[in-house]
Amino acid sequence: MIEAGFFYEALVKRGVGFFTGVPDSLLKSFCAYITEHSDSTRHIIAVNEGAAIGLAAGYHLASGNIPLVYMQNSGLGNATNPLLSLADAEVYRIPMILVIGWRGERGVPDEPQHIKQGEVTCVLLEDMGIPYTDLSCEKDEAEEQIARAFCRIAGTNAPFAFVVRKNTFAPYAFQKGEGIEAEMSREQAIEEVLRAAPESGVFISTTGMASREVYELRERQGQSHARDFLTVGSMGHASSIALGVALRKPQLPVTCLDGDGALLMHMGALAAIGVRKPRNLLHIVLNNGAHDSVGGQPTIAPSIDLPAIARACGYVNVYLARTVAELQAALEASYEALTFIEARVRKGARNDLGRPSSTPLENKAAFMNYIDGLY
């Protein structure tokens, strides 16, 4: 393994002056080190990977220096458009270092949603014409790779990528205490929502810890999983999935369990939902102010007024719940009109939190069969 500090300093020494991206579990040591050693003028945790490419491009245009963008390989989907239509050597030729966590690497056990992305990560980079190397776990070899990368950038003035395998970085614990001080844990809030929902209602849960907690709560209570669609991938799209279900089945109570990082990633979905105003949709954002599933780096959600944004987008009922009592009161008014609830929850999860034992295809089939059986 290599130390995150070594990699960071080697990049800074060669002129990297700005860092941005979306945190990833394979990069959490590196992301934590950046967060603690770069001030807000040199580091921005972006709302999505495409926005990070834009931020990096703006930094280069204003400074002439090389920025760095970090992401999980799933984030290449968000980043592809600006990489090809903005940074590419045949367009604006904007140099930047990409650091990409390689989830789903062939031969390395991983979750189902990462397998396909892992298979095509390097193919995507090759098809986009972005030179890359697998970052070495050995310090001396990594130093040589970094030197070659900057030589390549000097010749092409275009992006270069480091693909990072599991356990490349030595552990570096995130020390800062960002997050929200709250009465409720996320799991406690989810339990209240499940308890209050109509018996026939369905749930669309966002990627990460929230879906795992929904699954665990059903297991603990001996309940069927058929009412729950666990959006294990596609971060930021759970609310759009929920909208699609709600519009097609207007008599079916639909609850979207969203996260603050996921909401920020594709916030335009709020406008699409607010314009259509499906009365059977309840949109709950579990806001802990952190990318909790990938290392706990902060989001900007505590600094903005999410209920005001939802109201401006057209949501009819809008609530902020800081306590269990406030959440319970907000839930009583749900499903009468399009409703948005921001539930403030604590950062963190149980150490023994499990993972779904069913496959995504099994989850999909059970969910569709459940809905089909109702109507």
Each residue's pLDDT expressed in tens, for the chain with a length of 375 residues: 999 999 999 999 999 999 999 999 999 999 999 999 999 899 999 999 999 999 999 999 999 999 999 999 999 999 999 999 999 999 999 999 999 999 999 888 888 888 888 899 999 999 999 999 999 999 999 999 999 999 999 999 999 999 999 999 999 977 665 667 889 999 999 999 999 999 899 999 999 899 999 999 999 999 999 999 999 889 999 999 999 999 999 999 999 999 999 999 999 999 999 999 999 999 999 999 988 878 788 999 999 999 999 999 999 999 999 999 999 999 998 888 999 999 999 988 888 888 888 999 999 999 999 999 886
Q: What are the backbone angles phi and psi of residue 7, rounded to the nearest 5°?
A: -65, -45
Which residues make Cβ contacts (< 8 Å) with residue 126, sequence separation at least 6?
A: none
The answer to whether residues 293 and 265 touch, using CB atoms and an 8 Å cutoff, is: no
The answer to whether residues 32 and 172 touch, using CB atoms and an 8 Å cutoff, is: yes
Which residues make Cβ contacts (< 8 Å) with residue 51, sequence separation at least 6?
A: none
pLDDT of residue 179: 64
Asked, colleague to colleague, whether 4-164 and 184-374 share their fold, the answer is yes
- CA–CA distances in Å: residue 299 to residues 41, 76, 259, 296: 16, 20, 11, 9
Domains of the chain, by residue range, sit at 4-164, 184-374
Q: Give 290's strand partners.
A: 298
Q: What is the DSSP letter of 303?
A: G
The CATH superfamily assigned to 4-164 is Thiamin diphosphate (ThDP)-binding fold, Pyr/PP domains (3.40.50.970)
pLDDT of residue 12: 97
The answer to whether residues 240 and 266 touch, using CB atoms and an 8 Å cutoff, is: yes
- Tokens representing 277 are 């105003």
Of 138, 146, 141, 121, residue with least CA distance to 8: 146
The answer to whether residues 105 and 123 touch, using CB atoms and an 8 Å cutoff, is: no
DSSP string over 358-370 = S-HHHHHHHHHHH
Of 118, 162, 104, residue with least CA distance to 137: 162
Beta strands in the chain (DSSP E): 16-21, 43-45, 66-72, 97-101, 132-134, 160-164, 184-185, 202-205, 228-230, 254-259, 281-287, 290-291, 297-298, 317-321, 339-346
CATH classification number, 184-374, choose in 3.40.50.300, 3.40.50.970, 3.10.129.10, 3.90.1720.10: 3.40.50.970
Q: What are the backbone angles phi and psi of residue 45, rounded to the nearest 5°?
A: -80, 110
The answer to whether residues 48 and 18 touch, using CB atoms and an 8 Å cutoff, is: no
Q: Give 152's strand partners.
A: none
**Dihedral, CA atoms, 200, 205, 211, 214, nearest 10 degrees?**
-30
The answer to whether residues 56 and 68 touch, using CB atoms and an 8 Å cutoff, is: yes
Strand 297-298 to 290-291 pairing: antiparallel
The answer to whether residues 295 and 32 touch, using CB atoms and an 8 Å cutoff, is: yes
Which of 314-343 are b and which e, b meaning 16 or more Cβ less than 10 Å from the residue's Cβ?
A: bbebbbbbbeeebbeebbeebbeebbbbbb
Helix (H/G/I), strand (E/B), else coil: 122: helix
pTM: 0.93
